[in-house]
Structure 1
């Protein structure tokens, strides 16, 4: 799905070669400051490499219309944007930006259940806690059903029990849709339980890239086996 060749970005990333497969749950791991978030930003074309080329679906990112690309490849940051208005407004704003017809109330409620956010659709979104805002933004992306979900530490603001529940739901949902999820995580438990492919980055370079699944949410799958 993604192919990177001789990609350099400032003094942060220096990737000779990296292939990221489609329809997999892919975990990007590595110490803080190793370049993981920068890699996601490159894949979403928020930033461009100083050298080298990145391909998505066999087409260089430089040839993609950025708006069209981001409709297919959506990124959820650690501190996602929450817009003025209600929970419902925030869930539907992606359809407005994407010029798509909105979904019905039942789909909104069902998606909130996936991320374990039991809130009234008319509640002011800014009244939510940090973890709830993260889950609201996650639900917003799920509703839009992109080809690729780019998630930067999706469980960083969640407790262990909520992380397990939401990750199981996310993985099941992404697999059902036959989409791709690429997520940064520092949680070994998340990698062990859900990763089908692991990319380890150290000091801006790819140290390891390998298949470890398919897990599809099974707790018996273990990283490194």
Structure 2
């Protein structure tokens, strides 16, 4: 799915080689400042490396249209983006960006139930709490039915019980659909419980000047 070779970004990222296979859930795990989020953003061209190459489906990301790439490789950040408008508007805007067919209200209502988000579709999204907005963002990206989900601390605004519900739901849907996910987390518990493979930043990062 992804292949990294001789990747350098400022003094943050220095990775000789890394392979990400399709159909798996990965977790980038490491201390704060270890480059987890920086690396994650390179998988859909939100950041561009200074040196090296990332390929997606055997094509260099540098050669791909970033908009089309982000329709397939969807990012959910730790600070959920809430767009102007209703809960319905916020759920559907991802489908519109991905140029996919809009789904019926019944589908949206069922998804809100799965997310334990007891809100009306016509409620203004900016009235939701931080945790509710994060669950709404989860719903938006799940509806996009992406090839790859990039998740940066996706449960940072959720309490422990809600975190379990949402992560159980998300990982079940990803696995059932045979999709790929790459998550950033500081929680060893989340990494061990939900990922197929943990990528320790201390294992893949090399000291400055060691790349050949």
Unaligned 5+ runs, structure 1: 208-225
Q: Secondary structure at the match of 1:3?
A: strand
CA shift in 2, pair 1:118/1:13, >3 Å: same
CA shift in 2, pair 1:203/1:20, >3 Å: closer
CA offset digits 1:3-58 (Å, max 9, x no partner):
00000011110011111111111111000010000011100111111000000111
Matched ranges for 1:31-46 at <5 A: 31-46=31-46
Greater relative CO (CA pairs within 8 A, separation 6+): 2
TM-score, structure 2 length as denominator? Answer: 0.93
The equivalent of 1:28 in structure 2 is 28
CA distance in 1, matches of 2:72, 2:152: 17
CA shift in 2, pair 1:89/1:165, >3 Å: same
Q: State whether residues 192 and 198 of structure 2, in contact with CA within 8 Å, keep that contact through their aligned partners in structure 1.
A: no
Aligned length in residues: 207
CA shift in 2, pair 1:206/1:135, >3 Å: farther
Which deviates the most, 98-107 or 1-10? 98-107
Matched ranges for 1:56-71 at <5 A: 56-71=56-71
Q: Secondary structure at the match of 2:201?
A: strand
Q: State whether residues 34 and 204 of structure 1, in contact with CA within 8 Å, keep that contact through their aligned partners in structure 2.
A: no
CA distance in 2, matches of 1:116, 1:206: 42
CA RMSD between the two structures: 1.6
